[in-house]
A and B are shown apart, each in its own frame.
Chain A
């Protein structure tokens, strides 16, 4: 084996070239890791939103809460089955909600966008105990008050504690609290009283979705059969976790698809960059290679040595890129959800597997970029190499 020190010193000898190549690879790894982190952030947000032991009921044919409608009279039928868990007071553990999106001005001159507004019943806080008020207070039942998720607070005009949004002329909806929901998509919503939402948006007499907590995860199938059997009602039942997965399919496919395409092109460019560097390293060091061969190092060790050098080069860049991408953890990314047409705020989620995977990706670029130059180095005829 040729000592590894030889390769490291060789890289140090050609600082500009090493730096340029490594930075190129670093940028690629940065983009690659960021895309994966955003993907992880999206799935984390949505998996913490949907619970496997909660079932969501919407009208058959509707593809989201937004396009669904259920008569309030039917809510009792939906929450009646024995698979639905009961609260301490004997009431079924379920909520019927109204969901609309409103157009709001973005702060920072980015035009307008949509925010999801959820009209919730008074007992929603019992149904979703992990949603907590971190500032201010809960809205009073039946009043024109609302709470705003911490992910959208301050991102839109009026959505900040003490401010208000106008639902109708001279009827402001006052923001009285900021809620936190364990990073789930509820943090991108505005919650107000269900009746207020109904009367302001012309949804009298209906809810758009009903959620029920089941006695356990396994009770879902039986519950679903029971509700969907009744064709007269025309409802569809889904696990909340599955529902949110489907909701994010479009958005995350778009981001991963586009990010993947970009990363592929980038990787191609950076690999060629590494190849150029390694080819010229081989060309410049013909005499050194000849000497090594004359000293008795075999063709294979020469090849391995140059491959290793290329991998070091790539890892150097990859390390910088992966490190830089971890800083993206502080960045919020707000994306339109293609299903609800409203904005959801996601965070880049740095995880160990992603950092490890990006380094592996860098190493792969080093291997692929270094392979042909290394073969050329190994094949150099000894006599000719020494003669140069």
Chain B
């Protein structure tokens, strides 16, 4: 049996205490995995963004719309393949105004061309294109609101006042994560035609698909340069940059989560260090005996570090074993359905799993360092004499 192996067995000499320690550290690891998952799922939106799409909005603010004629100008820019536009509608479910989900009015014909990762059964698609009052609903939103194809659904407008009656014509899924499945899309024309003439023909943003990802920055600059001479200037950026800028608004929260994850790790070290220190103190006379038999201080140190590393690893495995089924099994569905707009895909990342396991091992080792150094320094006579 190796020295580290002996140390590892020491960890289980007091099964009750070891059990408590493992539970305590496992809870900390669970919390750590949860927090990291919040951050990784948050960032997914920017990572999975389509590389061949750029978006144009008003330079000053996302609440100020652009004139619709800008769409035609953008379509003529070199490198632009297809163009579509959309407005944030800001509608609420008339039956349940507290439920939050994204509602957007889009140009149906071009929208599905530009967002070609959206999957709608052909007959549903045909029906939607025909129906002025038709709407497309994401599959997870459909589950959440209990909607089927053929249902009638009333939206209460916050920006566009009134009750808007829609027909659910289709339910979409997506082949990529770049579009979330908890939004509702309906016809831009439907709203536009009913607006007073001075509010008509405004678009929230314009999305263009470009020939290839590499030319994105050039095309964006070209678009902004054209409108620089106009009354309303524009800001064009890649879908990824757009998503990132959205994320920037939450930077304080993300920073807070980062700090809290570090605090968790500190607490974890405290629990482990406490257990190791107690074990070492109880076995002081034992170490004295070992030293008297001819073991060197370095052997004692290896014993202790082996023990602490084992504890850390066991607890890490337990924590991850608890967290992964909890998040991927139960929590993910709940979050994707209720907060799908923010977390379209809430799963534990493999990197997070490895990170948690690695940190548990390293921090386990680290928490054994001080006791190991102290035990190594003990003189044989003192260690043998010490009784507690």
Give the interface of A toward B (CB within 8 A).
Answer: 14, 16-17, 20-21, 23-24, 27-28, 30-31, 59-64, 66-67, 100-103, 106, 110-114, 167-169, 200-202, 234, 255, 262, 265-266, 268-270, 272-273, 275-277, 279-280, 284, 333-336, 341, 343
Interface pairs A-B: 5 shortest CB-CB: A111-B248, A272-B24, A24-B270, A265-B31, A20-B274
> Which residue of chain A is the closest to B263 with respect to CB atoms?
A27
Q: In the complex, are the beta carbons of A333 and B228 less than 8 A apart? A: no
Assembled-state Cα–Cα distance A171/B27 (Å): 56
Query: B190-230 toward A: CB 8 Å interface, digit per residue (1/0)?
Result: 00000000000000000000000000000000000000100
> Which residue of chain B is the closest to A117 with respect to CB atoms?
B61
Q: In the complex, are the beta carbons of A59 and B233 less than 8 A apart? A: no
Identify B31's interface contact among A110, A168, A262, A277, CB under 8 A: A262
Residues of B within 8 A of A21 (CB): 270, 274
For residue B366, CB closer than 8 A to chain A, the reply is no
> Which residue of chain A is the closest to B92 with respect to CB atoms?
A63
Residues of A within 8 A of B264 (CB): 265-266, 269
For residue B145, CB closer than 8 A to chain A, the reply is no
For residue B105, CB closer than 8 A to chain A, the reply is no
Identify A61's interface contact among B156, B263, B371, CB under 8 A: B156
Q: In the complex, are the beta carbons of B28 and A265 less than 8 A apart? A: yes
Q: In the complex, are the beta carbons of B268 and A61 less than 8 A apart? A: no
Residues of B within 8 A of A67 (CB): 90, 158-159
Residues of A within 8 A of B60 (CB): 102-103, 167-168, 200-201
For residue B64, CB closer than 8 A to chain A, the reply is yes
For residue B247, CB closer than 8 A to chain A, the reply is yes
Q: In the complex, are the beta carbons of B274 and A102 less than 8 A apart? A: no
Identify A265's interface contact among B30, B64, B233, B273, CB under 8 A: B30
Query: B240-259 toward A: CB 8 Å interface, digit per residue (1/0)?
Result: 00001101111111001000
Identify B248's interface contact among A110, A273, A277, A280, CB under 8 A: A110
Knowing A27-B270, A102-B61 are in contact, say whether A61-B20 is a contact too (CB < 8 A). Answer: no
Q: Would you give the shortest CB distance from A234 to chain B, in whole angstroms?
A: 7
Residues of B within 8 A of A336 (CB): 249-250, 252-253
How many B residues have CB within 8 A of the partner chain? 60
Assembled-state Cα–Cα distance A341/B231 (Å): 25
Q: In the complex, are the beta carbons of B252 and A333 less than 8 A apart? A: yes
Residues of A within 8 A of B370 (CB): 16
> Which residue of chain A is the closest to B156 with respect to CB atoms?
A61
Which segment of B129-137, B169-177, B276-284 sits at the interface? B276-284
Residues of B within 8 A of A17 (CB): 274, 277-278, 281
Residues of B within 8 A of A14 (CB): 281
Knowing A31-B260, A113-B248, A276-B271 are in contact, say whether A266-B31 is a contact too (CB < 8 A). Answer: yes
Identify B277's interface contact among A16, A64, A335, CB under 8 A: A16
> Which residue of chain B is the closest to A340 with respect to CB atoms?
B63
Residues of B within 8 A of A273 (CB): 24, 267, 270-271, 274
Q: In the complex, are the beta carbons of A23 and B252 less than 8 A apart? A: no
Assembled-state Cα–Cα distance A59/B159 (Å): 9
> Which residue of chain B is the closest to A264 with respect to CB atoms?
B31
Assembled-state Cα–Cα distance A266/B34 (Å): 13
Residues of B within 8 A of A341 (CB): 62, 249
Knowing A21-B270, A61-B156, A62-B159 are in contact, say whether A276-B248 is a contact too (CB < 8 A). Answer: no
Q: Would you give the shortest CB distance from A364 to chain B, in whole angstroms?
A: 17
Q: In the complex, are the beta carbons of B263 and A100 less than 8 A apart? A: no
Residues of A within 8 A of B233 (CB): 168-169
Residues of B within 8 A of A61 (CB): 156-158, 161-162
Residues of B within 8 A of A102 (CB): 60-61
Identify B61's interface contact among A103, A268, A275, CB under 8 A: A103
Knowing A110-B248, A335-B252, A336-B250 are in contact, say whether A269-B268 is a contact too (CB < 8 A). Answer: yes
Assembled-state Cα–Cα distance A84/B102 (Å): 38
> Which residue of chain A is the closest to B227 with respect to CB atoms?
A169
Q: In the complex, are the beta carbons of B61 and A63 less than 8 A apart? A: no
> Which residue of chain B is the closest to A24 with respect to CB atoms?
B270
Q: In the complex, are the beta carbons of B273 and A16 less than 8 A apart? A: yes
Knowing A272-B24, A341-B249, A343-B249 are in contact, say whether A24-B267 is a contact too (CB < 8 A). Answer: yes
30 A/B residue pairs, CB under 8 Å, sorted by A: A14-B281, A16-B274, A16-B371, A17-B277, A21-B270, A24-B274, A31-B263, A61-B156, A61-B162, A62-B158, A63-B90, A63-B158, A106-B248, A111-B245, A111-B251, A114-B62, A167-B60, A168-B60, A168-B233, A169-B228, A201-B63, A262-B35, A265-B28, A268-B24, A272-B24, A272-B271, A273-B24, A273-B267, A276-B24, A277-B274
